[in-house]
Amino acid sequence: MSPDAIRKVNVIGHLNPDTDSICSAIAYAYLKNQIDSTNTGYEARRAGSINRETAFALNHFGFEEPRLITSVAPQIKDIDITPLQGIGLETSLQRAWNLMRDTTTGTLCVTDLDGDLEGLIAIKDIANANMDILDNFALSRARTPYQNVLDTLNGKMIVGNPRETIRIGKLSIGTTPEVMDGIVSPGDMILVTNRYESQRFALESGAGCLVVCCGANVTSVIRTLAEERGCVIITTPLDTFAAARLITMSIPVRAKMLPEEKIEFFSVNTSVEEAQRVMARTQHRVFPVLHEDGTYAGVVSSPNMLNVDKKHVILVDHAEFSQTVEGIEQAEVMEIIDHHRVGTIETPGPIYYRCEPVGCTCTIIYEMFQEHDVPIPANIAGLMMSAILSDTLCFRSPTCTPEDVEVGNELARICGEDPEAYSDAMFDAGADLNGRTADEVFNSDFKVFSRSDSTFGVGQASFMTKKSRLAAEELLTPYFETASRAKHVPIIYFMFTDIRSKTTEMLCYGANSEQLLASAFNVKVKDGRAILPGVVSRKKQVIPALMTTLQRVQEEQE
């Protein structure tokens, strides 16, 4: 697909996003929008709730949270929605039939003046109404507007108001006074011809409307009498047979439509997969589609599902299948910018993949700004600096490289911040537990990893003071069992990292988690807890050690 055909590209970090994940997405989306000469738009998105550290950085540099995205599976808005015109509630069955014929469709959507879906009318509904020849009260029961009758019969109103509706009475054909005697009731609509006697008898019997067929003349006497008695007179060029056949087609569609509450419809955000399941279990062929604001957008049917535009995404700060948004296998991954190990995401063809052994994704993105000679605005520089300080624990982490230090200090110069003072404030904001739940704190930085058939998760929280670290441990420890069940992860590790002392207190949960931890770091584990001096990096120090130990255990078991 050419770039011109791409509607939008979402730049997305990993699930449970940290500061680097969010700030990298914003910075890289900005860069791509500066260097891409096509009309494609790049938008930073978040794959989960942001933590307080990230919120501090965004607020400090004047950014709103990126919009949430939970799935990149194709949605109804990613297919060609048929822009079928909606019709009004008062539209006659005859006009609806003509529209179906002209548009070669068997279904029309009924909307109100605000564009909200009210119902659906199909050919079979019109056919059923047309075949119900014994229902003489159909017009009054449907509160049919006289204007509909005029349109259907190509008629002209001689006496009366076209804006009024038929509210009482039945429909009859008036032949002779003798035949009408005892049949005509007050309010009835009577189809007559040019016979003066029949017209007058119908009026004197209390008819509510005379439909004079064959274009017959209406005398002044009849007009005056109709005005005195409040009777409507309509003339039509159609003969009595044709008028009798057609007049029930003036009923408004609201009287025969399938109401909104009984309709299977989709939102533009409904996944294509879900829509296909609905289509398979129903007999309907056409399904209305609603915009995000609930207004009518058009219709889809099975043929529409054959041409789906995949969502286009760029992944930053991760390359693991387990860490990305749902539906990634159904999306078009265009690029990956990362600083972790080569992960499990597969693509059907070659893509731009940039992965460097540095401490932060934003260090790589800084290089790309330089390569494309794009100036970095102060607020973007502030976010990129925040990401580097977060990922490298203010240059204290073993993952930190000289390049991270150089880039971080240069970004600090651009945005006018002191790295030490700013990082203290940012980490303090991230460690604040006031009003936070265990679920919120746990998921603020938790990632799932796998080795062969084994799956485990590792979370991390960094603290500037012992008091804040102990408070977090007290909050989270009872939550591990709940998190294990909720995320279907049998083994959980959580790193409570003291930034100043460069020490991590590792807590673990799950069968064999203690043995694995003890073997990986050659430490004593007591009551699911171990002290790991000098260990501050999940990526460089913890994950490789656990992966290597898992591999060894599996080989021994084999």
Question: Could you give the CA distance from residue 261 to residue 281 in angstroms, rounded to a whole number?
Answer: 18
CB-based contact 101:137 (threshold 8 Å):
no
Confidence band of 338 (pLDDT split at 50, 70, 90): very high
What the block records as the tokens of 518 is 């003890």
- Say if residue 3's pLDDT is above 50: no
470: left (phi > 0), else alpha (psi -120 to 50), else beta? Answer: alpha
pLDDT at 6: 61
Question: Could you give the CA distance from residue 275 to residue 282 in angstroms, rounded to a whole number?
Answer: 11
pLDDT single digits (tens) 15-35? 989 999 999 999 999 999 999
Cα-to-chain-centroid distance, residue 98? 35
What would the mean pLDDT of 509-538 be, rounded to a whole number?
94
Question: Could you give the CA distance from residue 259 to residue 240 in angstroms, rounded to a whole number?
Answer: 33
pTM of the model: 0.68
Cα-to-chain-centroid distance, residue 290? 11
Tell me the average pLDDT of the chain.
92
pLDDT at 2: 42
Q: Tokens 């879900």 label which residue?
A: 274
Better pLDDT: 202 or 284: 202
Confidence band of 341 (pLDDT split at 50, 70, 90): confident
CB-based contact 129:94 (threshold 8 Å):
no
Domains of the chain as residue ranges with CATH = 3-74+310-430 (3.90.1640.10), 76-91+102-127+255-306 (3.10.580.10), 143-250 (3.40.1390.20), 438-557 (3.10.310.20)
pLDDT at 4: 44
Number of helices and strands in the chain (H, E): 20, 22
pLDDT at 98: 94
Better pLDDT: 555 or 419: 419
Give the burial class of 349: count Cβ atoms within 10 A of its Cβ; 0-12 exposed, 13-18 middle, 19 or more buried: exposed
143: left (phi > 0), else alpha (psi -120 to 50), else beta? Answer: left
pLDDT at 486: 92
pLDDT single digits (tens) 45-56? 999 999 999 999
Handedness of CA 131, 132, 137, 140 (dihedral sign): negative
CB atoms within 10 A of CB 326: 15
pLDDT at 391: 93
pLDDT-above-90 percentage for the chain: 76
pLDDT single digits (tens) 220-272? 999 999 999 999 999 999 999 999 999 999 999 999 999 999 999 999 999 99
pLDDT at 40: 75
Confidence band of 387 (pLDDT split at 50, 70, 90): very high
Question: Could you give the CA distance from residue 40 to residue 352 in angstroms, rounded to a whole number?
Answer: 17
| Per-residue DSSP letter, 444 | G
pLDDT single digits (tens) 358-385? 999 999 999 999 999 999 999 999 999 9
Q: Of 287-291, 335-339, 468-472, which gets the smallest average pLDDT?
A: 468-472
Degrees (nearest 5) of the Cα angle 5, 6, 9?
A: 170
What would the mean pLDDT of 149-169 be, rounded to a whole number?
95
Of 194, 170, 182, 186, the C-alpha closest to 231 is 186
pLDDT single digits (tens) 76-86? 999 999 999 89
